[in-house]
């Protein structure tokens, strides 16, 4: 099996978008060279060591929608995605999709939303493993004290995205 990738420039830096040829399977901060080791480890778990082939046309639809998001022309994404993760992670990622544009929720809010109020730490772990930067809005999750905490792309990116959505 092959996985296809393309890179796009954005206000938060280069994004690498990965597709199985039909659906987007990941969006990561950084160039392919920056995230290649991470992608190899991740893909070994779900795809049995696929080849990564640079084919921007396979992710052009996702790149176009992300471009529209950054130009304030889009709030929701319509391209097909495929989630690869544990059932718990997938449940958390689905709950992230329910956070309205421009709003924030705490990790505790997400734990309650998935009917597992004691799983705050596990929710944090699942949020950290979110394979769809920006599209599955983990940037909208903040600490219980209202402060920005942890973000895979860096707090500067999280702050940019929240400010962008607050406009």
Tokens representing residue 134 in the block: 């920006």
Tell me the mean pLDDT in the region 10-24.
97
CB distance 114 to 69 below 8 Å? no
Same domain, 44 and 96: no
Residues 39 and 101 in one domain: no
Examine residue 128 and state whether it is found in any structural domain, yes or no.
yes
19 and 60 assigned to the same domain: yes
Domain count along the chain: 2
Strands across the sheet with 24-29, in order? 24-29, 15-19, 2-8, 51-54
> pLDDT digit string (tens) for 23-80?
999 999 999 999 999 999 999 999 988 999 999 999 999 999 999 999 999 999 999 9
Assess whether 29 and 97 both reside in one domain: no
Domain that holds residue 30: 2-70
**91 is known as an active-site residue:** no
Write out pLDDT tens, residues 103-147: 999 999 999 999 999 999 999 999 999 999 899 999 999 888 877
DSSP-assigned letter for residue 81: B
CB 9 within 8 A of CB 71: no
70, 99, 126 - which closes a domain = 70
From the list 138, 141, 142, 162, the catalytic residue is 138
Compare 161 and 143 and report the one with higher pLDDT. Answer: 161
Q: Choose between 77 and 152: higher pLDDT.
A: 77
Q: Do 103 and 60 share a structural domain?
A: no
End-to-end CA distance of the chain: 42
Identify the CATH number of the domain in which residue 64 sits.
Answer: 3.30.160
């Amino acid at each position: 099996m092959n996985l296809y990738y393309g890179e796009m420039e954005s206000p938060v830096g280069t994004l690498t978008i990965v597709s199985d040829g039909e659906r987007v399977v990941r969006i990561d901060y950084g160039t392919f060279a920056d995230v290649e080791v991470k992608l190899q480890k991740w893909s070994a778990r779900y795809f049995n060591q696929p080849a990564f082939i640079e084919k921007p046309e396979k992710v052009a639809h996702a790149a176009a929608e992300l471009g529209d998001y950054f130009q304030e022309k889009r709030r929701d994404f319509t391209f097909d995605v495929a989630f690869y993760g544990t059932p718990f992670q997938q449940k958390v990622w689905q709950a992230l999709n329910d956070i309205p544009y421009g709003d924030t929720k705490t990790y505790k809010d997400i734990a309650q939303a998935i009917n597992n109020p004691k799983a705050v730490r596990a929710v944090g772990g699942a949020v950290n493993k979110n394979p769809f930067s920006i599209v599955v809005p983990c940037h909208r999750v903040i600490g219980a004290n209202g402060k920005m905490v942890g973000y895979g792309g860096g707090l500067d990116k999280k702050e940019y995205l929240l400010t962008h959505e607050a406009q």
